[in-house]
Amino acid sequence: MSNNDLIVGLEIGTSKICVVVGETRPDGTLKILGVGQAPSRGVRKGEIVDFETAMKCVHEAVVDAEQKSDVMIRSVYVAVAGGHIQSFNNRGCVILPEERDEIDDQDVEDVKISAREVSIPAQNAFLHSIIQHYHVDGQDGVLNPIGMLGGKLEADFHIIHGVRTRIQNTIRCVKELPLEVEDVVFSALASAQVVLTQHQKNLGALVVDIGGGTTDYILYVDGAVKQSGALAIGGDHITNDISMGLRIPMARAEKLKTEEGSCVLGNCLPGETILLKDDSGFAGKEIERETLNTIIHLRLRETFELLKRTVEEEPFINYVGAGIFITGGCSLVNGIDHLAGEIFEMPAHVTHAQTLSGLTSAVENPQFSTAIGLLKYAQAVQVDRPRRGITRIFGRFFSGMR
Amino acid sequence: MIQLSKNYSLPERQEEPIPIKVVGVGSAGSNALDRVLLDGMDKADLIAINTDVQSLASSVATRKVQLGRSSTHGLGTGGDPELGYQAAIESADEIRQAIAGARMIFICAGLGGGTGSGAAPIVAQLAREAGSLVIAFATLPFSFEGKRRAAQAQDALSRLNEIANAVICFENDRMGDMVAPKAGIHQAFGIADMTISQSVRSIVNLIQRPGLIRIGFDDLFAALRSQNGRCLFGFGESDTDNRAHDALTQALKNPLMDKGRMLSEAAHVLVQVAGGPGMTLSEVEILMRELGRHVRDHTQIVFGTAVDGKMGNRLSVTIISSLASEDSIAAQDTSPPSEPFLAPPPAILEQVEEPPPAPPAIDIVPETESEASPEPAPDDLIAVEPPVAAEAPPPPVPAPAPSIKKPAPRLIPPKKKPVVEKEAKPPKEKPVQAKQEVLQFEPVTRGRFEKSEPTIVEGQDLDIPTFLRKNIRVK
């Protein structure tokens, strides 16, 4: 195929649908050719609720991307999110035959399969199984066991799974366009590929992707994924809170949130107000800035506290050295890094996709982290480099689903 | 007598811009002055007056006067108003020279310290003797600076109130409200200076600018009449599409304005609207109508408007008013002396006769000074009292009280105001708090998530706004 080196990432978000077109160069670098987007309708909390409308929106975004990058899009990598996505860690084990003591490719494949031999709810399907570490005869922290000598090979995997039908809905929405779905990727995993450097993954980092409808997180320790998941709370909830608290329409609440809102309290003058203009530009309603900020603050604080309780169910958060990396559209709320830093008691940063060439304006917007991350993920999978964090058995999980 | 001849030359120059001088007394005063200069002020001469040579040297003012060459030797006063007073008396001639020929004198001083509290009243007095109108811009110290400084400041303020034609008083505590709580202290002080500078400039403009509807001294003093009261001052400028509204909002936002709430209690409000040639009648009308909502029906609004080509696209609003202090008795007491302010010439004549009493004051004080300055023992106080027979402050026994009251009698020998007036402290009470309204919510709703699958975590439906679930009242 002529566009073999062309990679397209598609994210069906709650507030917008975003398509990023990139190409891989022979030297392994990734260049972004164009970004298409369309406002999203028919999606709530990261899941499609109105199939027809959502499909139209995806089509719009794809057409936009085609025009901007001047290519034909045939196949895409799709990001999925939603509160149904869960994860756990599991260890697989393989005993080598008596007559052989050198570990080969097949043993590594076998150990992966054995790691997946766990029970997940019947309606769920595997999304990813990501290798963390191998253990050879009890020796910890082996990165690549192939060629090593040993009698017993064990492997720790991080397994991400979600409700099968909901993932299928997303796939179908794209397939009906018609576009080929190359792979389905959990959105936080995709984001982490571009917002974190390998060094940060090694130090330990928590990536929090706060989008319109969901808050997805993924936690790296020692360069491996240890924890991941999603909360069905996002920027839409803030907007909804503002709309209800101040009794203004959703569209205006959204504007107020992005243009004026902050989640830091006590940083504005007492009695400082924001004047809302009505459609004709005349003075409308006056809103106390502190009130607006309180609403945003309360929601975000609750979200972060919930997230903190969730990640603290396992001990890994204590090994995070690089801090929290917040991305996604909602990370643009003023002061969100201060709030996160305060709650998690560690450094927090608002980040966007790093280390890519082309279209810097798109790269530097945290709203596109996931879609750009898809490209990086795809690149890693296509090259099939043995890279930790992304190694997965390609296509096998969904072979029955598509 | 020399002053007399100068005074009489004044009226002839009325066609030209009114000669105005801005005097900064003390370090705080010269900081404010620097700010005035940096913000651009070509319509007035700026004079820095200080005891501290270092501070004086760093000032950017065009003219500088060092106070007390022999009494302080170029050092500061160490927070002693007595010393500031001495220094000012010593350099009275230089001050006279510097301020001569001005029709109006603005005195910027930070009260509470030595030079500001001690010298500013003297400068005001000398200016009045020279026949100038005096408007003092005084800052009161932050409350955390201690009670003693606050008392010194109150002392100096009441004296300024007696001498100056008008006093515009800035409480630093309220300046603090202007800056965000997390802003640096440097910024907080800077804001105070900026506010003073803005007020000075807008009053200068108010008077200098050729007005379609002119605002005169009489209007200005009428608006500032109630002494010891809280001065309301607001200035706003805007060049947006909705500039009339924006400028007014900005003016009302001024910390001395308390969001316009205090305006409803004022009896006399002076408003000047200035703009470029493009200013329209309807803009002024909108603005005045909007302002009308903030004042009571029977409030007298003195309205002035001016067109200034330099304003370009901008439109500025200056609001000046004053409130009687909370104990209206004090306000009543002080209203009679305000009458002469409306008719400056007689006041000048009165004052001109006074210089003789002033020099004796110089003589009197040095004798007591030597005893009084070290530490105010009760004995010293008794020694102090004789020269000021009329004053007779209640014999203060507690140690801190005398130290504060001590300079009071000596500083204003000609004036007969009882020191008791200090009791009339400027209003410290909190501004009127907005009432917390209770919003009635319908049975808990989920807004746009009404039809979507609920997100239930830990038994809570997270689609319901957090503040509702946590029962936190937002306005």
pLDDT tens sequence across B403-443: 433 343 444 444 444 444 444 444 444 444 444 544 444 44
Find the closest chain B residue to A269 by CA distance. Answer: B180
Check CB contact under 8 Å for A245 and B462. Answer: no
What lies within 8 Å, CB to CB, of A26 at 6+ separation is: none
- pLDDT for A395 equals 39
Check CB contact under 8 Å for B474 and A294. Answer: yes
- pLDDT for A347 equals 92
* Four-CA torsion A270, A271, A272, A273, nearest 10 degrees: 160
Instruction: Write the pLDDT tens digit of every residue in A355-367.
Output: 566 666 666 788 8
* Residue A249 near chain B (CB below 8 Å): no
Check CB contact under 8 Å for B449 and A306. Answer: no
**In which order are the strands placed within the sheet that holds A323-327?**
A224-231, A215-221, A205-210, A323-327, A348-350
- pLDDT for B378 equals 43
Nearest CA to A82 out of A234, A230, A300, A210 is that of: A230
Rounded-to-integer distance, Cα A250 and Cα A241, Å: 9
Find the closest chain A residue to B432 by CA distance. Answer: A271
* Residue B452 near chain A (CB below 8 Å): yes
Find the closest chain B residue to A49 by CA distance. Answer: B452
CA distances from A388 to A193, A225, B112, B167 (A): 11, 9, 68, 74
CB B340 within 8 A of CB B346: yes
Q: Which residue type occupies B286?
A: I
Tokens of B93: 């001639």
* Four-CA torsion A355, A356, A362, A364, nearest 10 degrees: 10
Number of Cβ within 10 Å of residue A59's Cβ equals 17
For residue B92, give how far its alpha carbon lies from the nearest alpha carbon of chain A (Å): 43
pLDDT band (50, 70, 90) for residue B186: confident
Q: Is the pLDDT of residue A196 over 70?
A: yes
For residue B421, give how far its alpha carbon lies from the nearest alpha carbon of chain A (Å): 33
For residue A305, give how far its alpha carbon lies from the nearest alpha carbon of chain B (Å): 12
Find chain A residues with C-beta within 8 A of B447's C-beta: 240-241, 243-244, 250
- pLDDT for B341 equals 39
CB B234 within 8 A of CB B44: no
- Count of CB contacts below 8 A, A vs B? 92
Q: Could you give the ipTM of this predicted complex?
A: 0.75
Find chain B residues with C-beta within 8 A of A83's C-beta: 455
Rounded-to-integer distance, Cα A154 and Cα A163, Å: 28
* Four-CA torsion A367, A370, A372, A375, nearest 10 degrees: -170
- Residue B6, exposed/middle/buried by CB under 10 A (0-12, 13-18, 19+)? middle
Tokens of A199: 């060094």
Check CB contact under 8 Å for B447 and A243. Answer: yes
Q: Which residue has the tokens 């004796």?
A: B360
For residue A281, give how far its alpha carbon lies from the nearest alpha carbon of chain B (Å): 9
Average pLDDT over residues B126-135: 84
Tokens of A221: 């320790």
CB B315 within 8 A of CB B285: no
Check CB contact under 8 Å for A232 and B462. Answer: yes
Q: Per mean pLDDT, which range of A73-82, A245-254, B7-16 is the poorest?
A: B7-16
- pLDDT for B428 equals 43
Q: Is the pLDDT of residue B263 over 90?
A: no
Check CB contact under 8 Å for A232 and B241. Answer: no
Chain B from 248 to 267: CB within 8 A of any A CB: 249, 253, 259
For residue B181, give how far its alpha carbon lies from the nearest alpha carbon of chain A (Å): 6
Most confident of A47-51, A354-358, B30-34: A47-51
What lies within 8 Å, CB to CB, of B111 at 6+ separation is: B117, B120, B138, B139, B140, B141, B152, B153, B156, B157, B160
Number of Cβ within 10 Å of residue A378's Cβ equals 25
Which tops the pLDDT comparison, B321 or A246? Answer: A246
CB A79 within 8 A of CB A211: no
Find chain B residues with C-beta within 8 A of A236's C-beta: 448-449
Radius of gyration of chain B (CA): 25
For residue B432, give how far its alpha carbon lies from the nearest alpha carbon of chain A (Å): 12
Mutation target vs B (from A269, A278, A280, A306; most B CBs, 10 A cutoff): A269
Check CB contact under 8 Å for B178 and A269. Answer: yes
Nearest-CB residue to B181 (from A245, A267, A299): A267
* Residue B460 near chain A (CB below 8 Å): no
CB B184 within 8 A of CB B146: no
Element (H, E) at B303: strand B300-307
* Residue B375 near chain A (CB below 8 Å): no
Rounded-to-integer distance, Cα A242 and Cα A41, Å: 20
Rounded-to-integer distance, Cα A150 and Cα A108, Å: 13
* Residue A163 near chain B (CB below 8 Å): no
Find chain A residues with C-beta within 8 A of B463's C-beta: 237, 240
Rounded-to-integer distance, Cα A348 and Cα A369, Å: 17
Nearest-CB residue to A283 (from B245, B447, B472): B245
CA B4 to chain centre: 29
* Residue A245 near chain B (CB below 8 Å): yes
* Residue B298 near chain A (CB below 8 Å): no
Domains of chain B, earliest start first: 1-178+371-433 (3.40.50.1440), 435-475 (no CATH)
What lies within 8 Å, CB to CB, of B27 at 6+ separation is: B50, B52, B55, B76, B110, B113, B115, B116
Chain B from 174 to 213: CB within 8 A of any A CB: 177-182
- Angle among Cα A151, A106, A123 to the nearest 5 degrees reads 105
For residue A382, give how far its alpha carbon lies from the nearest alpha carbon of chain B (Å): 36
CB B445 within 8 A of CB B419: no
Rounded-to-integer distance, Cα B204 and Cα A277, Å: 35
Check CB contact under 8 Å for B445 and A244. Answer: yes
Check CB contact under 8 Å for B182 and A236. Answer: no
Find chain A residues with C-beta within 8 A of B445's C-beta: 244
* Residue B442 near chain A (CB below 8 Å): no
Check CB contact under 8 Å for A240 and B458. Answer: no
- Angle (deg, nearest 10), helices B2-9 and B344-352: 170
For domain A198-351, the CATH superfamily is ATPase, nucleotide binding domain (3.30.420.40)
Find chain B residues with C-beta within 8 A of A45's C-beta: 449, 452-453, 455
Q: Is the peptide bond before A178 cis (omega within 30 degrees of 0)?
A: yes
Q: Which residue type occupies B107?
A: I
CA distances from A93 to A113, A147, A393 (A): 9, 17, 17
CB B255 within 8 A of CB B300: no
Find the closest chain A residue to B182 by CA distance. Answer: A267
Element (H, E) at A141: strand A139-142
Instruction: Write the pLDDT tens digit of every residue in B191-237.
Output: 777 777 877 877 777 777 766 777 777 777 777 765 555 677 788 88
Find chain A residues with C-beta within 8 A of B440's C-beta: none
What lies within 8 Å, CB to CB, of B383 at 6+ separation is: B368, B371, B372
Number of Cβ within 10 Å of residue A186's Cβ equals 29
Which tops the pLDDT comparison, B370 or B178? Answer: B178
Give CATH for domain A86-159: 3.30.1490.110
Rounded-to-integer distance, Cα B174 and Cα B196, Å: 13
Mean pLDDT over each residue of chain B, to the nearest integer = 68
Number of Cβ within 10 Å of residue A315's Cβ equals 11
Mutation target vs B (from A237, A310, A313; most B CBs, 10 A cutoff): A237
Nearest-CB residue to B447 (from A240, A266, A267): A240
Find the closest chain A residue to B436 by CA distance. Answer: A291
What lies within 8 Å, CB to CB, of A162 at 6+ separation is: A80, A82, A84, A85, A86, A124, A125, A127, A186
Check CB contact under 8 Å for B465 and A245. Answer: yes
CB B137 within 8 A of CB B200: yes
* Residue B445 near chain A (CB below 8 Å): yes
Q: Where are the domains of chain A?
A: 86-159, 198-351
* Residue B434 near chain A (CB below 8 Å): yes
Rounded-to-integer distance, Cα A82 and Cα A88, Å: 16
Q: Is the pLDDT of residue A401 over 60?
A: no
Nearest-CB residue to B465 (from A241, A270, A306): A241
* Residue B144 near chain A (CB below 8 Å): no
- pLDDT for B225 equals 63
Q: Per mean pLDDT, which range of A5-14, A183-192, A294-303, B218-227 is the poorest?
A: B218-227
Rounded-to-integer distance, Cα A257 and Cα A215, Å: 17
| A215-221 vs A224-231, strand pairing mode | antiparallel
Radius of gyration of chain A (CA): 22
What lies within 8 Å, CB to CB, of B11 at 6+ separation is: none
Q: Per mean pLDDT, which range of A101-105, A192-196, A201-205 is the poorest?
A: A101-105
**In which order are the strands placed within the sheet that holds A124-136?**
A86-95, A152-163, A124-136, A139-142
Tokens of B368: 């007591």
Check CB contact under 8 Å for A45 and B178. Answer: no
- Angle among Cα A186, A189, A194 to the nearest 5 degrees reads 135
Nearest-CB residue to A44 (from B182, B253, B452): B452
Average pLDDT over residues A58-78: 92
CA distances from B359 to A66, A137, B88, B125, B181 (A): 91, 103, 12, 12, 48
- pLDDT for A17 equals 92
Check CB contact under 8 Å for B452 and A281. Answer: no
Element (H, E) at B23: strand B20-25
Instruction: Write the pLDDT tens digit of every residue in A235-272.
Output: 999 999 999 888 888 888 888 888 888 888 877 777 77
Nearest CA to A276 out of A262, A300, A259 is that of: A259
Compute φ and ψ for B347, nearest 5 degrees. Answer: -60, -40
Find chain A residues with C-beta within 8 A of B249's C-beta: 275
HSE-up of residue A17 (Cα within 13 Å, Cβ side): 28
Find the closest chain A residue to B242 by CA distance. Answer: A282
HSE-up of residue B365 (Cα within 13 Å, Cβ side): 25
